[in-house]
Structure 1
């Protein structure tokens, strides 16, 4: 099982910077993450040579059914296990390298049943439900019992598959009809949806850098909120994959910065992720304006295009971007500047500006109270 270098054209990089990337761009990111996972597995094998038979089994399946191995290596739980285990072994910390055997067995099972068979859940024999949302697109509803997740994630172990199928399908249809480019990218990049319990604040969603291809989310009976969450979390997924390939930030400490979507100061990497995600949010509401033409979409578009521009300007002034990172942020900024010139009702702009002021005032009050 070899690891090959990856190249991305300047055009593909710039398309990602502008918030897109298309199906081909997503395939590059998925393949690059697969290579990263395999590199971690080789590191695990180097630290635990007794696992060679498990690796040999995986290699044998690779020769006979490479798509089966790719599907297993692409599973977010395998990515989390491989990354965390390799790092733990380097630092002499507790780890479970023997789970390589589970990865190999999952590949054998996948190869035995063919590509149409649901992916066996590696690293935890949890019950996985296939969510068929139509048009040949399926996601796994996976309660994730493989471990390796932050304590703060409120995983739901008793999600109702029928209810999830109903509302995820409705959200997907909204995305596919009104945001086809986002839907195409999401279907290529994301394979797993892990249910969360509702938070005290209501709906929540998240991604984790190591769990590439998984969106964690609670359930809502609002297709627009589901579609928006998909658009938002897709951006985080894309940026996590892109940062595997390119050093966008200079090494070292950069301090913390104001982010017009969070109550607390953010490190530079968090600001970068948030800005890219809210580029996707602004684009979602820009397209939604065409669908409903209502004041809500106008306000949301006005708000998030302005917030995204502020994020870009803060990043560019930070001194923490590499040359390629600056190119990436300038690509975001170019799109947002174009959108800022699009006409929006004055009342929507005024409401959005008031929301921005209120957020900044609350943030400043919080920072001052914390430092007193």
Structure 2
């Protein structure tokens, strides 16, 4: 991190990755050498980002003003620490919050401070820059380096990354409340000479000599032991760093600050998840111990809607909502750890041409997303869900009853999804040479496992889930050629033989309104795990627009094995909501169950064409035709049915 003399050319060592690292990472294996190389790359990257922040702040005239010392003062303190404890500075550079902060501040500095700030509920720019001072203070405290530094007070506290948060006394404000934005001074004594003291106004706070011990004025980071033996590591349950949540463009963060009871629940689930992974998923446990260092808790979500996210500039961090049980936490952590590993790998070399050129790439279907994804997104998802598939492949053998049925279902769904996306990846010209090697090794691992049988009922629901996901995606994001739709509609209205009717091509047209996944997937999981709650949950996720009550009732009928009733329900829904993708896909599933394969194939393979012909016929005739009749006729037209 050493600062070069002014005008000196900077030459960084080139990082190299052996081909064996690609092979190991492709199958979810992290060797000590691979971990060392990936961390070295992240440190170099963060070092450059910190330097860019300092240089841009100096050049831009938008800086700290009189509130805090110059950025150089914080850098000088970090450099002092690095000379005696380089490991401490390296750890702070690898801290995920450092990457999130650097990206955010650089965006504000280079964009003329257009990112939401103080006037929109966020922090002023000087306060955001002051996080560098907080990093320097944390380095000094951890190394026992003597010094004094002014720090920003944010939401009633002072953050010390990787250590915790100082709570500022309310008495520092005249009206009895802590000012939203102010400055405090931290005096750090040399190691063993006494506690550090924070001064703000007339108040003084002494920090505990043991930073892991909580007090009225000190909230330490919540650390939990993770893994055993060679996999032993420390995982931080991060709820006090202001840059824990990469999605928050302005404060307050959308992540949560945990109560003691919530923290205890998290610790319990983490302990149970760690035991489960160590016992039945040793490779995944090893990857988690090496790949994740921070878990950011999010508010709880309904069952089967656990939220999670990773960020390419926060390698080592995962945001996860409080799950219902340890199994769900374990599989979500496996999923996000793989995303984090791939983010780290992509900082070493590009796997897709878009990574190298920055140009736009074609978009593709990915079963785990409701929106079309670029090739890099398909690769990310395939890699993460390969780990998820392997988790459920093993887990379903260890569970029993409804839990085992659910695990069989998840295994069958994601095994199919990963297989489909590997076909996309292997046939694409958008991979780099390294990307092709990575994908081939991943495919060999996936295909090398036997195609294990799945019991009938979860297999049946899994096939419906796979067909449903694709049909809804097509209905949302593909547009059939208008002229060909008119020709096909005219042929249908004139009673033409469907076998000789014209075909229709469709093109991708992403719908930005497509948001969260359709609720029918959640209901299938409930049907397996807790069928008694199916009706109540179906009603809970319905409203008057995107998911009307008639659609919910049809879904319940379908999942209860009443296909004729479901057909009637979906047709009723389409009378009032003729554009609704979920109703068209649901109708296709119900028709398949009721023994009408031609109509079902049309709706599940080309729902956008059936809907377009239905709409065109309505416009020409002034009344809505029977959607089942339209679908059946189109389903017997191979020129449409088999066109993709």
TM-score, length-scaled by structure 1: 0.88
> Counterpart of 1:164?
266
1:10-67 per-position Cα deviation (integer Å, ceiling 9, x unaligned): 1111111223233442332233112111111121222245422321211221121122
- Correspondence 1:1-372 to 2 at 5 A: 1=1, 4-49=13-58, 50-93=70-113, 95=125, 96-112=128-144, 119-121=162-164, 128-133=221-226, 135=228, 136-147=232-243, 149-151=246-248, 154-159=254-259, 160-199=262-301, 202-250=305-353, 251=357, 252-292=359-399, 294-339=404-449, 341-345=450-454, 347=456, 349-368=459-478
CA contact (8 A) 1:298 1:345 kept: yes
Distance 1:286 1:23, change over 3 A: farther
1:197-240 per-position Cα deviation (integer Å, ceiling 9, x unaligned): 12356422211222221111111241111110111001100011
Q: Distance in 1 between matches of 2:74 and 2:100?
A: 18
CA contact (8 A) 2:312 2:343 kept: yes
CA contact (8 A) 1:103 1:123 kept: no
> How far does residue 92 in structure 1 lie from its aligned partner after superposition?
3.8
Q: Distance in 2 between matches of 1:314 and 1:144?
A: 41
Q: Distance in 1 between matches of 2:83 and 2:428?
A: 48
> How far does residue 259 in structure 1 lie from its aligned partner after superposition?
0.6
Q: Distance in 2 between matches of 1:87 and 1:337?
A: 43
Q: Distance in 2 between matches of 1:122 and 1:242?
A: 32
> Counterpart of 2:120?
none
Q: Distance in 2 between matches of 1:44 and 1:270?
A: 29
1:261-308 per-position Cα deviation (integer Å, ceiling 9, x unaligned): 122222322222111111111121222244347444333323212211
Q: Distance in 1 between matches of 2:264 and 2:455?
A: 43
Q: Distance in 2 between matches of 1:58 and 1:295?
A: 54
Could you list the runs of 5+ residues in structure 1 that have no partner in the other structure?
A: none
Considering fraction of residues, name the structure with more helix.
Answer: 1
What value does the CA root-mean-square deviation take over the aligned residues?
Answer: 2.9
Distance 1:314 1:134, change over 3 A: closer
1:86-140 per-position Cα deviation (integer Å, ceiling 9, x unaligned): 3443444365334322111111112239xxxx93248999652222356453321
Q: Distance in 2 between matches of 1:366 and 1:126?
A: 47
Could you list the runs of 5+ residues in structure 2 that have no partner in the other structure?
A: 3-11, 59-69, 115-124, 146-160, 168-217, 479-578, 582-607, 613-644
Q: Secondary structure at the match of 1:245?
A: coil
TM-score, length-scaled by structure 2: 0.53
CA contact (8 A) 1:77 1:122 kept: no
CA contact (8 A) 1:232 1:277 kept: yes
CA contact (8 A) 1:212 1:237 kept: yes
Q: Distance in 2 between matches of 1:306 and 1:163?
A: 34
Q: Distance in 2 between matches of 1:23 and 1:228?
A: 23
Number of residues of Structure 1 aligned to a counterpart in Structure 2: 368
Q: Distance in 2 between matches of 1:119 and 1:254?
A: 38
Distance 1:122 1:100, change over 3 A: farther
Q: Which has the larger radius of gyration?
A: 2
Q: Distance in 2 between matches of 1:318 and 1:360?
A: 20
Q: Distance in 2 between matches of 1:244 and 1:299?
A: 35
Q: Secondary structure at the match of 1:195?
A: strand
